Amino acid sequence: MTSYKENKKLEFDFIILGAGSAGCVLANRLSEDGKFSVLVIEAGPMDVNYLKPIETLLIHMPAGVYHAYKNPAINWNYKTEKEQNCVNRELDLPRGKIIGGSSSINSMVYMRGHPLDYDSWSSKYGLKEWSFDKCLPYFKKCENSDRGENEWRGGNGPLGVTRGKLQNPLFDALMQAGEQSGQGTSEDLNGYKPEGIARLDSTTKNGMRCSAATAHLRPALKRQNVKLVTNALVHRILFKKDLAEGVEYKHLGSVKTAHANNSIIVSCGAIKSPQLLMLSGIGPADHLRSIGIEPAINLSGVGKNLQDHLLVATGFECTKDVTIHKITQPHYKLAAGLKWLITRRGIVSSNVWEMGGQVFGNHKEKYPNLQYHFAAAYNKYIGRKIVLSQGFLLQCDQLRPKSRGEVMLKSNNPYESPSSFFNYLSHPHDIKELREAYKKMTEIISQPAFDEFRGKRISPSPDINSDSEIDLWIRETATSDYHPCGTCKMGEDPEAVVNENLQVHGFKNLYVVDASVMPDVVSGNLNAPTQMIAERASDFILDKKQLNPLKVNFHFQNN
């Protein structure tokens, strides 16, 4: 083992670039047996700031998500390029710039994606190591679910996962409407029946956000063989032929170099991982030369294959005073905050998105192609301030879009944000599915279960009904659900960036481990699968035997 305390030359066995969802898992697993030294370099700050105690509380308070993810101090605050099929809008693209990465600013929904997503990776791309039966043991290893351990769920892992507990009659109405509409219900979307309306899980524990930093990084930092450097931006990776030797980064005003004896792992996320590879000379050769970077290797797929979940939302006034809109009023906010500080209970211990579902937009799909998130209040932002009103909001994601975009460099300056062009709605399939999403949302809210609550439709306008009107509304209002992935995809085809063990093609000791390696986006939120990928990657990197596959039964409606 190399001890960084004893070594004047900054030298470690493993260097992890990015302390986000994947990097935190890797830091924990690569260091846990004490044999290897680990350096983690993070561009953002710690998630505790004693000079700004309220800011810190809002990171760890689940209902504080609405402030946390708008906080520019801990967010890269990206924008997409002008999306020509979304009336040339630049969409918000928040990404966590803090330990824990986006797991420290996200809405905390824990959704693994559908088992058939992973089986598709295996069959479609030849990624035999990534069938669901081989992924499930690592989902379970990572998870500590308050539902208890069973065939599908883990009960002893580091990541706290909690079933939604907030009681509200609108939640009951949505569940009843699932039955009445035929869209179905489920006890656990990450369990036996991964389809229907259900209570969602969140990455919370004991009433607090359980980010990847809380779950994985903090235990690792108690060890002598782990060093974390925050507020440090990596400029480039250093190579000698097919070996990644070290990294160059800026910290406290000085450019420094750290060397790796074993491996370097890039875990900067779907936007910054391809940016860093390209800054280091790994990527499409012609593009790199055009901005003054000499290619180290021509990997044309770096930055390509950019995918995301696009969503539409419908909102209604609520005729009964049962919504949670009063929580933003000063005296309610103060009382709820004090209750949480003392007991870690109450409404602010909720991530708000406690209900949702996985549903079918049409009968041709083999498994659900749409996902709901439901909130018992109507909200809109004015700047960074959220304004709630007496209503309810239903969002619907398109889960498996066919449109693909690209991340490219604007210059060779590591401080300039890259170009992120998602090319949303470029494939006709996608506008069709989001039209189905609107109709499915309308269908479920129109059920008798909502009759006593449903008031005037706020969004879209009640006048919108024809397909052409719906399509225009989608183009004008659809937005990201903040699930970018795919830009350093796994595989062996010409546009693959890493192999199925997550090694960068052409290099012996360089890995990419984060959501960018997904060849296709999974049918659900990305934080849980990203942590699973990192759990598996740690065993690949350490050359450990993978956990034994687990074959379990699932209910599939259309099988």
- Residues with catalytic function: 483
- Note whether 358 and 342 are within 8 A (CB): no
- Rounded Cα gap, residues 434 and 113, in angstroms: 19
- Residue 213: which residues within 8 A CB-CB, separation 6 or more? 19, 24, 47, 98, 99, 100, 103, 104
- Strand, coil or helix: what is 169? helix
Residue 410's nearest CA partner among 240, 274, 239 is 274
Q: How many CA atoms lie within 13 A of 356 on its CB side?
A: 29
- Rounded Cα gap, residues 326 and 488, in angstroms: 44
- Note whether 257 and 247 are within 8 A (CB): yes
Task: Give the strand pairing for 11-17 and 254-266.
Answer: parallel
- Rounded Cα gap, residues 316 and 431, in angstroms: 23
- Rounded Cα gap, residues 168 and 187, in angstroms: 17
How is residue 555 written in tokens?
């209910």
234: left (phi over 0), alpha (psi -120 to 50) or beta: beta
Say which residue the tokens 């406690």 belong to: 354
The one-letter amino acid code at 198 reads A
How is residue 243 written in tokens?
């070996």
- Note whether 12 and 22 are within 8 A (CB): no
- Note whether 215 and 26 are within 8 A (CB): no
Say which residue the tokens 């449109």 belong to: 403
